[in-house]
Amino acid sequence: MATNTQILIVMIVYLSLLVLWGIYNGRKVKSNKDFAIAGRNLKGWKAALSERATGESSWALLGLPGAAYATGLVEVWTAIGCVVGIISAWVFIAFKLHKEASKFDATTFTDYIAKKHAADEKTIRIVSSFTIVFFFFFYVGAQFLGGGKVLESMFGISSQIGMLITVVIIVPYTIYGGFQSVVHTDVIQAIIMIITLFVAPIVGVFYIANNPDVFASSISLALSKAGSSYTTFFDFSGGFTSGLVMFAGFSWFFGYLGGQPQLSTRFMAIKDEKQSKLARNIGIAWTLVAYIGALMIGWIGIAIFGPTGIEDPEQIMPEVILKILPTIPAAILITGGIAAMISTADSLLILSSTELAENIIKPLSKKEISAKKGLFLSRIITAILALIALLLAYISPSDLIYTLVSYVWAGIGGTFSVVILFSMFWKKFHSISVVITIISGMLFTIIWISTGMEEIITSRILTFFFALIIAVASTFIFKPKITNK
């Protein structure tokens, strides 16, 4: 109980400072461009840390260590897929997308696609933004739901109250400072995350080697004692199933190729080429340390508690931290991890609101909207979306929310990765193909998951290749429209 009280005190202080930091940096916002994309003037190190905090958060701190604890070495394939995808994005996509966004003066993810394919600009704005906003409603709702559940499990408060606390934490600075505030809070989160993922494995290795009460004195011995399924890189059943396990893990790669709007927006916001290179180096270094650390925390958990010692594998990170570190340092690192998960909602919320404001409401408005009114409108939309997402989290079954969230990585990630890659690197790709690809990719994902086929082969693989085939075929079947833009 004393430990939980100390964690609660640390969390209150940490989150209070984080909110104040977000509001402080929000004072720089003077226009829609500042609110939506930080004036496209972001320093490289800020962009890299923000992109990594947004992309990983609960996954790196809870999901991946939990999966490594539950399955052993086979989870390496997931890590490889993510790491290769992230490195590919930073090396091949980040600077090119930044350059293209600057050329078209694009302020949002959809704004770039629409301006790049101007012949069907209005249609692309509606189709792309509607698709993103609809699914990200539920994505934000899932973050609120997750935040509520974490606060419930840690401190015994109801998940409904926990969701309200989550909203109260992130919404004020998000409404006030938009992307500018979100990026600067992300930076703090990314620093705490990487400290956790760097320090915990090192301390953990020494802890298990020098503590006789643990399940095993080393990671290799722990995996060996846990059973043969923990020491193989493939599914224990072998054959075709092993191949599916490997590809299912690696399939996360395809979602990183420009198709996640909340990540690509960070590439677009970087100031210049020099800062883009700095961001690339920091982003890659952070990723390598983080993924190695996340896997090791899971495996150290096996060494400490045994393969069945923790009922919920996703709690292995806080359990390991509390075991190997003194209470106060442990509380700080656990708080940073919980806060990172909670505040992921701010990036998703600002993305949804700017997509809706900049690509649907403002372009379709018959009246000219001044810069001051436009900024006010963006803030109002952000507040409204937050309330709708909270309402969805309250009234929708959690399994429905998480099912719709599962469409995001496959449907949004796989589909838009194809659209972004072809938009940047294939001159023949045209506006009609963009619309057809977006609609086809999302419909395919929805049908595939809804019919239960996801249990056989993940749509994270199939959606990307289905969208790829549709994009190529439609490019050659349909003639591009002629535009003077």
Residues 364-419 pLDDT 10s: 776 777 777 878 888 998 999 899 888 888 887 776 666 777 778 888 999 999 99
In tens, the pLDDT along 168-201 reads 888 899 999 999 999 999 999 899 889 999 999 9
In tens, the pLDDT along 60-115 reads 887 889 889 998 998 898 899 999 999 999 999 999 999 999 999 999 999 999 99
- Band of residue 261 on the pLDDT scale cut at 50, 70, 90: very high
CATH of 2-397, one of 1.10.3720.10, 3.90.1150.10, 1.10.287.180, 1.20.1730.10: 1.20.1730.10
In tens, the pLDDT along 441-471 reads 999 999 998 888 888 888 888 999 999 999 9
What pLDDT does 246 receive?
Answer: 67
- Record the pTM: 0.90
Q: HEC profile for the chain?
A: CHHHHHHHHHHHHHHHHHHHHHHHHHCCCCCHHHHHHHHHCECHHHHHHHHHHHHCCHHHHHHHHHHHHHHHHHHHHHHHHHHHHHHHHHHHHHHHHHHHHHHCCCCCHHHHHHHHCHHHHHHHHHHHHHHHHHHHHHHHHHHHHHHHHHHHHHHCCCHHHHHHHHHHHHHHHHHHHHHHHHHHHHHHHHHHHHHHHHHHHHHHHHHHHCCCCCCCCCHHHHHHHHCHHHCCCCCCCCHHHHHHHHHHHHHHHHHHCCCCHHHHHHHHHECCHHHHHHHHHHHHHHHHHHHHHHHHHHHHHHHHHCCCCCCCHHHHHHHHHHHHCCHHHHHHHHHHHHHHHHHHHHHHHHHHHHHHHHHHHHHHCCCCCCHHHHHHHHHHHHHHHHHHHHHHHHHCCHHHHHHHHHHHHHHHHHHHHHHHHHHHHCCCCCHHHHHHHHHHHHHHHHHHHHCCHHHCCCHHHHHHHHHHHHHHHHHHHCCCCCCCC
What pLDDT does 179 receive?
Answer: 92
User: Domain residue spans in the chain?
Assistant: 2-397
pLDDT surpassing 50 at residue 1: no
